[in-house]
């Protein structure tokens, strides 16, 4: 499959900076002086003639008391697809168990955030984190091996290709009951393990 290269986008902050400055009844000269830059630079930024250096952008945001989320919301909206390259995947070790992140939780999604990872359990091991339960839901699919899901007072045996879906509020652990490593893909909402 050929990956489409997206065109490089230019992000314009000028209109927002000018609108806030005018609402605050500040002149270009006042803003430039307080930000420690030239009046002509502020004018060029407002007209999107130049892209500000990050420290200049922060200085202007500070002088005008602009929330950075407001300035960057356009950038977020124009990135509908997030790609994690295989060699850039974050990993986490919990004793012998390996977690490899395949979907990164987005901070702005708060309680609706989703994380996903490949979990690899050596023979005879089991997960620990869900043993007390937590808010949200989990969905998993067994890629390789045999597993047993311990959920509350019940157990469920799972083979390669089987999937599970459950409310995560009850204590739950996944155990490798086979003789080979168990590999599964897991989805958790809201995000628990890879939250920054």
Tens digit of pLDDT at every position of the chain (196 positions): 444 444 455 567 788 899 889 988 999 999 999 999 999 999 999 998 888 888 898 899 899 888 877 777 666 555 567 788 888 888 888 889 999 999 876 655 555 678 899 999 999 999 987 677 788 899 999 999 999 999 999 999 999 999 999 998 899 999 999 999 999 999 998 887 665 4
Residues with Cβ < 8 Å from 104, sequence gap 6 or more? 82, 84, 90, 115, 194
């Amino acid at each position: 499959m050929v990956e489409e290269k997206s065109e490089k986008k230019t992000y314009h902050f000028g209109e927002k900076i000018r609108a806030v400055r005018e609402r605050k009844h500040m002149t270009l000269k006042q803003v430039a002086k307080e930000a420690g830059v030239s009046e002509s630079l502020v004018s060029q930024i407002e007209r999107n003639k130049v892209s500000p250096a990050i420290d200049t952008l922060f200085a202007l945001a500070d002088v005008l008391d602009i929330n950075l989320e407001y300035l960057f919301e356009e950038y977020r909206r124009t990135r509908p697809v997030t790609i994690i390259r295989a060699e850039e995947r974050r990993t986490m070790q919990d004793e012998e168990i390996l977690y490899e992140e395949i979907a990164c939780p987005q901070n702005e999604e708060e309680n609706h955030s989703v994380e996903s990872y490949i979990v690899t359990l050596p023979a005879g091991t089991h997960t620990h984190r869900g043993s007390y339960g937590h808010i949200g839901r989990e969905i998993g699919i067994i890629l390789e091996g045999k597993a047993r899901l311990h959920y509350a007072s019940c157990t469920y045996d799972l083979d390669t290709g089987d999937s599970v879906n459950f409310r995560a509020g009850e204590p739950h652990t996944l155990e490798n009951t086979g003789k080979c490593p168990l590999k599964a893909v897991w989805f958790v909402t809201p995000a628990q393990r890879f939250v920054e």
